[in-house]
Amino acid sequence: PKMFSFVAKAATHARALATRFQALWRRLPIGLQVGLEMWALWRIPLLVLLAVGFGTVPLAIGTTVPAYVDGPPWLLLWHRWDSGWYVRIMHEGYFYLAAEPGDMSRQSSIQFFPLFPALSRGLMVFGLPMAVATMVVTHVSTVLALWGLHRLTELKLGAEAARLAPIALLLFPTAIFLSAAYAEAPLIALAVWALTFFERRQVLAAATCAALAAVTRANGAVLVASLCGAALLRRDWKMLAPCVVLPGLTLGSFCLYQHLQFGDALAFLHARNAWGVWGKNPLDLLRDYALATVRGGHGLEGWLDCLAP
């Protein structure tokens, strides 16, 4: 009888909890519901698979992560390649080594923008391991990106397109980086919400998203330029001014830090020497990227290299 009583009470509590969850779920915006559902269907099975099968599959090149990246071992697999630069920034701060064009032995962390490591480091203050903190930032950003994409697509193309847009984003092959310790997820989230707020003429919100994107990745400059160009075409001066000023302040602050720390306000650009980006005449670089783009060899980020003198 005691066992039956315990099971009955547990079932009652479970039903009450399910009812409360359903009530809370119905209060969420539709776009957020879609984002959470897509994230759960796309990521949770893979995370569970990694957790169960960790150690049974041989590790590939690039899997090794620094010893100071603490957290569950199955999460460390998401800290590969350029993730190492972000966790190094979190661990020891920025460094900059002046390099001649093509000198890959003098690569510097200053080329990687500060928002992603700053957010992750901020979560570590609350006691989260480094690997967990980076994954929280990445996956929360992914959900926000899916929500924002749903909202923006619904605003421009209708409900049916809004339902398909998050699926298209997650099915794109490079969407794997929306689960890794990379800055792609925060950048996409900021970009889609900046565009959404822009279309709804929420000036301060759009400019704030653009300002944060400007210190997330170099691609943020493309977003800022696009918003400013659209505001100019619409003669929307109230939108234009904040979209110039706020990103200018955030990127300017990053440049000021570089000037004070390294004596070079554009260290993040000059550091690209060590990746073999500079060393060409700007016109030659422009020609090379134009030809490569025609052949499908470069995306938007590559064109930012043409800004280098």
pLDDT in tens, 168-226: 998 888 888 888 899 999 999 999 999 999 999 999 999 999 999 999 998 899 899 99
3-state secondary structure 67-86: CCCCCCHHHHCCCCCCHHHH
The backbone region for 204, taken as left when phi is positive above 0, alpha when psi lies in -120 to 50, beta otherwise, is alpha
Conformational region of residue 116, where left means phi above 0, alpha means psi within -120 to 50, and beta covers everything else = alpha
Alpha carbons 94 and 80: distance in angstroms, whole number? 19
- Judge contact between 183 and 216, C-beta under 8 A: yes
Residues 273-305: pLDDT tens digits? 777 655 555 566 667 767 776 666 555 555 555
How many whole angstroms separate alpha carbon 52 and alpha carbon 171?
24
pLDDT of residue 229: 94
Please name which of 288, 291, 294, 295 lies closest in space to residue 305, comparing C-alpha atoms.
Answer: 288
Q: pTM of the full predicted structure?
A: 0.82
